[in-house]
Chains A and B, each alone.
Chain A
């Protein structure tokens, strides 16, 4: 069998909610051994957030938890128990990487700060993910991904220019910081292979998301110009929008960047009169008369389903795509072809999907296991990985260390 790319990498994951746990899931799916540490007294917020399978509440039934905790071993450990430190020492001695996303200072208060961990394992790599970083006047800020939507300007950049900002439905930076976190962990492991040195990584949602917005930030820095929300418009393409199609609330996105695409677009429509008007001949002209242009485009699209619009335009090599609903994603032939939704058998909710990643490697297979139930792997991890005897395991269990 082909060796998994990250086989042998050992991760202890103290993180919770969305942004932190993604890091371990990514690593775990590519072969790292990831132990997620939870406790009964402080449940991961995603375990108690809707939607639940079949609408039945339960700590092992939330889709939110499943989405971000692929391929981990789940253990419970009461960090406030006096004997928890004995387990912590074993965990840290075993681990290459520790990931956490509590508020700044929480790990220190638990005796789990980097300096402490380094004493237990000098080459340890520790990563902390927070909203605003470990230092600075707002490091204590405890918030969520949607707070970072606001802070970074993404909130203001989403919506129509003549109306209030609407922000994003999902806390977008929750899908930015973990990717930089994975980059950091992999680069730190690579550095450690060469030098034998571990490190402490402090990664902030706010800052990593700023990298995505770098051109806008430079525009302000250079010109004091403040980017603003533009509906679906784009300064260097027209038409560039989401157009109503036949059916109930059905839409197709179209974007025409080059003159070549414009000509192909016109031909695909059968070159109706308006497409031949001079004012639409150049990008400059199309941008200047964009409202009128959009009206013409939509007069055409409403006659077709979004699938028909997409097929017609893509045949002509013009970028166009159906605005897919969550339901339609599950039926998407491309995602299906890529095996993006992987069937797994979850011990409590039965057959379900785990998502794969937008990255496929030609020879390193992806092995996705379902997210763990609360404490599902206690016995395996504490005895097989950390080396407790059965008798010791029962002793700790009886004392409530694993609660």
Chain B
């Protein structure tokens, strides 16, 4: 879908997903690395637990399908080379500290003079301007400053994050959106522009109801473990079962009618509906926020006992049949082995001859009726400077002696 476009990707872990998405969509994405390699190459875990720049699973996952060149943009020769490259680029995406590229002499103003169509996306913890623009943040700090951490975890311990660097992914996907919006504008006007992505704001955007809870009812939403505050009452979302946990919630209203009748009948069939049987005749008319918390707790006891006497698999299978929104809490093994993902051919094998292995990757971003467009992983992540000859010599026409000189000066 984006095959005519070239991307220079200067990001570290904070932005790699942006270029990965563009590469899956067919763009030519060139990761530009300092000769010592991208910092994200140092993020564990490593393939077979042996550290090395070509073995970081983080790097492999988020740079798959890109090409790589080395270039030391702090040297004069490197700057010149970068400017030449930038003339051929449609998009640049970077995640340096705000102002770093300008100080290097490679800011947007400089690059756009030679290429007014250039679109440049910058990812930073707090965006490019404002009182916190120079503040540092990784995933945890951005997730805290974006509000998400305060809602997560148990009341008797510190608030927590999701144990994965997902804020970087949020920033990455929003950067891809910004680039595509800017591309649409460029299509009409011929003019490129800057895209400014804030990781903090990308976290705020994951909060839907928590913000109006303050704005509309001055309610500070606190972390509540496995329970979810639902306007007056809280209900349980995560339940232990025989061999793990499942996710399920009470509903009144229209949704309640759909699922609660099936749920109660199912329990009645097993003689386990207890007080839930007959207590509510009309789930559609039930306004959960008006039910006493004690009553909800008593229903939860009945439901909880029922879940405890079944396995995840039993519950999920039956819930699918009865159209009840209940799902098992999978772990990574269960995701990888999931029959739904397999049936959709979600996994795509990628060859790693250097690691002497073939690894399955999460495949397409989405499916499409237009076969040519299927956005999927294009190949393994590049090794450091793997495409120097291809890009510098073949595509840019640098001569052998020029290449040698750049190599000697450690520019590439």
Contact = CB atoms under 8 A, between A and B. Distances in A.
Contacts of B42: 236
Interface string B194-213: 11111111101111111111
A158 interface: yes
A125 B2 CA distance: 16
Contact of B188 (A3, A189, A222, A360): A3
Contacts, number: 535
Interface string B213-245: 111111111111110111110000110100001
Interface in B133-152: 133-152
Nearest to B145: A321
Given A202-B368, A335-B201, A157 B164 contact: yes
B127 interface: yes
Q: Which residue, B58, B147, B197, B209, has most C-beta atoms of chain A within 10 A?
A: B209
Given A151-B327, A156-B329, A166 B198 contact: no
Interface residues of A, number: 167
B47 A324 contact: no
A386 interface: no
A188 interface: yes
Contact of A68 (B48, B208, B320, B327): B208
A326 B289 CA distance: 21
Interface in B25-48: 25, 42-45, 47-48
B149 A359 contact: no
A51 B219 contact: yes
B340 interface: yes
Interface stretch (B81-89, B99-107, B175-183, B301-309): B175-183
B271 interface: no
A333 B164 contact: no
B373 interface: yes
A109 interface: no
Nearest to B355: A222
A48 interface: yes
Contact of A242 (B149, B191, B359): B149
A60 interface: no
Contacts of A140: 320, 323
Contact of A220 (B62, B184, B336): B336
B153 A360 contact: no
A387 interface: no
B62 A210 contact: no
Interface stretch (B72-80, B155-163, B274-282): B155-163
Nearest to A362: B194
A167 B187 CA distance: 42
Q: Which residue, A141, A168, A213, A242, has most C-beta atoms of chain B within 10 A?
A: A242
Interface string A318-361: 11111111111110111101101000000000001101111111
Contact of B215 (A241, A317, A353): A353
A152 interface: yes
B195 A210 contact: no
B67 interface: no
A356 B200 CA distance: 13
Interface in A217-269: 217-237, 240-244, 249, 251-255, 257, 261
A251 B159 CA distance: 8
Chain B contact surface mostly: mixed
B228 A151 contact: no
Contacts of A45: 254-255
Q: Which residue, B42, B334, B370, has most C-beta atoms of chain A within 10 A?
A: B370
A102 interface: no
Interface in A53-67: 53-55, 62-64, 66-67
Interface string B246-268: 11010001110000000000000
B311 interface: no
Contacts of A353: 211, 215
Given A167-B237, A191-B1, A253 B362 contact: no
A366 to B, nearest CB: 10
A67 B208 contact: yes
Given A51-B231, A153-B331, A222-B57, A133 B209 contact: no
Given A135-B344, A219-B332, A158 B160 contact: yes
29 contacts: A8-B188, A138-B339, A152-B330, A154-B162, A158-B160, A158-B161, A168-B162, A175-B205, A180-B173, A184-B368, A190-B180, A210-B335, A211-B362, A226-B331, A241-B158, A251-B149, A253-B141, A321-B142, A326-B207, A330-B215, A334-B133, A334-B145, A340-B201, A355-B211, A358-B202, A359-B181, A360-B127, A363-B193, A364-B181
